[in-house]
Amino acid sequence: MKFIKNFYRNLDFRDFKEFLADSCLYIILTMTVLVIVIYVVALQQVLGTSMEPTYKNQDVLLLNKVQYKIFSPKRFDVIAAQDGSGIVIKRIIGLPGESVDFRNGKLYINNQEVTENFEKATETGDFSLDTIPDGYYFLVGDNRMNSTDSRDERVGLIHRDDIIGKIMFRLWRVG
């Protein structure tokens, strides 16, 4: 009993309040970081050569998960999407309601030639797709000859719900 009385007599509640205030600060900071990582941004690693020369195998990219919850995807955005084989990094070429043609190495959207203002590793063979259904997007890799993308029936068009987010930039290159 004497021990308990001495314990309370020697206990400094100012230190305890300081400890609680510091702990709350770290808990709030940890929760904020978790919310940002889960709902706002993520790191995404490139696997394969389908996006060369823009992104190389093993590059680590910053992914914005909020972009397409607010805005619609745009042509030439580089995105991360879920397909049947996992997460892929590809470029949006065709939007809902459009027709897509690759003829003689040139891109045509609704029979109008569209200039691709980014470096491609290779041109693609001829390809044609009639109207893209609502809610779907036509994706290709920048390394057209070495990319499994919407031109392949195993992948096909990607639904908007399967788009995880927009690639913002490369954080670092591995290797």
Q: Which CATH number fits domain 42-172: 2.10.109.10, 3.60.110.10, 3.30.460.80, 3.40.50.1000?
A: 2.10.109.10
Give me the long-range contacts of 117-120 (CB less than 8 A, separation at least 24). 117/76, 118/54, 118/76, 118/91, 118/142, 119/53, 119/54, 120/53, 120/144
99 annotated active-site: no
- 3 state SS of 171: strand
Per-residue pLDDT tens, the chain, 175 aa: give them: 565 555 556 666 667 777 777 888 899 999 999 998 888 999 999 999 999 999 999 999 999 999 999 999 999 999 999 987 789 999 999 999 999 999 988 899 999 999 988 888 777 888 999 999 999 999 999 998 889 899 888 889 999 999 999 999 999 887 6
What are the strands, taking DSSP E only, across the chain? 41-45, 60-64, 78-83, 86-94, 100-103, 106-109, 112-114, 127-129, 136-140, 158-159, 163-172
Instruction: Assess whether 90 carries a catalytic annotation.
Output: yes
Set 5, 17, 50, 65: catalytic member: 50
* Predicted model pTM: 0.81
In this structure, which amino acid lies at residue 160? R
Is-contact 161 68, C-beta < 8 A? no
> Of 65, 90, 120, 166, which one is the catalytic site residue?
90
Distant-in-sequence, close-in-space partners of 81: CB < 8 Å, separation ≥ 6: 87, 88, 90, 139, 158, 162, 163, 164
- Which residue ranges make up each domain of the chain? 2-39, 42-172
* C-alpha radius of gyration, the chain, whole number: 25
